[in-house]
Structure 1
Amino acid sequence: MPRSQRNDNFIDKSFTVMADMILKMMPVKRQAKEAFAYYRDGMSAQADGDYAEALEYYNEALKLEEDAYDRSFILYNIGLIHAANGQHDEALVYYDRALEDNPRLPQALNNIAVIHHYRGAKAEEDGHPERAEPHYEKAAAAWVRAIRLAPDNYIEAQNWLKTTGRAELLY
């Protein structure tokens, strides 16, 4: 049974009913509708913390989705799951793939920066400051790109860029 038919929450059920109605009326190919249904079920599973199930739905959606913009959000969500599971290398792969399909995805850039910043801080904490700097440089580059796309977002990153002397990269 699809996840969309299992929701017990009134709001989830209402959203699902409305999404199903819109999906039926949309003048798009059946394959695109199926991809969206898998994506929607993946988001629902992800919101419930059922990451394995979410990955299954997202992978099915990827098989069907042809639109690069829509694929970018599927890939981004897969990256989120890997990051939440501490699989940072896998998360970076999916964020990069999402950016290949949609270069204007600041949240993917932000998450790439967060991972590199974490790795830099961890290297410093472990007594290896020489290993930290390359990660900080990658974090700065990703945050600069994200901030250029969404100038009103990522205030903490903007402050970090300023306090570390990297703010000139923004201009």
Structure 2
Amino acid sequence: MPRSQKNDNFIDKTFTVVADILLKVLPTSYREKQAFAYYRDGMSAQSEGEYNASLQNYYEALRLEVDAYDRSYILYNIGLIHTSNGEFARALEYYYQALERNPSLPSALNNIAVIYHFRGEQALEYGQQEISQLLFDKAAEYWKEAIRISPTNYIEAQNWLLTTGRISSLELKN
């Protein structure tokens, strides 16, 4: 039984029904429909914390999906799983791949910044002041770009940028 048929959550069931209807009525190829079904099942497994099943579905969706924009979201979600598992280097690889296909994906930019910021905090704990500042500067670069694309999001990042002097309030308003 496909994962989409065993969801107990009302919202998941509703999404699945709507997605199935769209798949039937949209003029897409069989391959595109398969890719979307795997992506949908990957999202369902991911929401249930079943990361291995989710990854299997995402990799199958990647194999089938040819559209760069759609692939960016699959890659982004794979990055999320690796982030959740504490595999930050692997997560960065997938976030970067997602950005190569969709440079206007602020959530990927934000997640990259979060990882660099976390690594900066770790470097501080180990007394590596210079390295931490480089990592914080890198985080700032990615947050600035995410905020440029989506100015009303990432308020905590905006506050951090302001309080650390990495951005001025004037820059935020522009």
CA apart distance, 1:22: 1.3
- The CA deviation string for residues 7-42 of structure 1, in whole angstroms up to 9 with x for no partner, is 233442232122111111110111111000000000
2:163 counterpart residue number = 163
Equivalent-residue separation in structure 2 for 1:51 and 1:112 (angstroms): 20
Q: Which runs of 4+ in 1 moved over 4 A?
A: 168-171
Count of matched residue positions in the alignment of Structure 1 and Structure 2? 171
1:88 counterpart residue number = 88
Residues 61-76 of structure 1: matches in 2 within 5 Å?
61-76=61-76
Equivalent-residue separation in structure 2 for 1:99 and 1:10 (angstroms): 32
2:127 counterpart residue number = 127
1:145 counterpart residue number = 145
Query: Secondary structure of 1:167's match?
Result: coil
Equivalent-residue separation in structure 2 for 1:19 and 1:29 (angstroms): 15
The more displaced of 81-90 and 151-160 is 151-160
In structure 1, stretches of 5+ residues that fail to align are none
Q: Return the TM-score normalized by structure 1.
A: 0.95
Query: Secondary structure of 2:140's match?
Result: helix
Q: Return the TM-score normalized by structure 2.
A: 0.94
CA apart distance, 1:78: 0.2
Is 2:21 the partner of 1:33?
no
Equivalent-residue separation in structure 1 for 2:160 and 2:5 (angstroms): 45
Sequence identity, in percent? 63
Is 2:66 the partner of 1:97?
no
Query: Secondary structure of 2:27's match?
Result: coil
2:44 counterpart residue number = 44
In structure 2, stretches of 5+ residues that fail to align are none
Equivalent-residue separation in structure 2 for 1:11 and 1:159 (angstroms): 34
The residue type paired with residue 99 of structure 1 is L
- Structure 1 residues 155 and 11, CA gap change in structure 2 (3 angstroms): closer
The residue type paired with residue 39 of structure 2 is Y
- Structure 1 residues 11 and 146, CA gap change in structure 2 (3 angstroms): closer
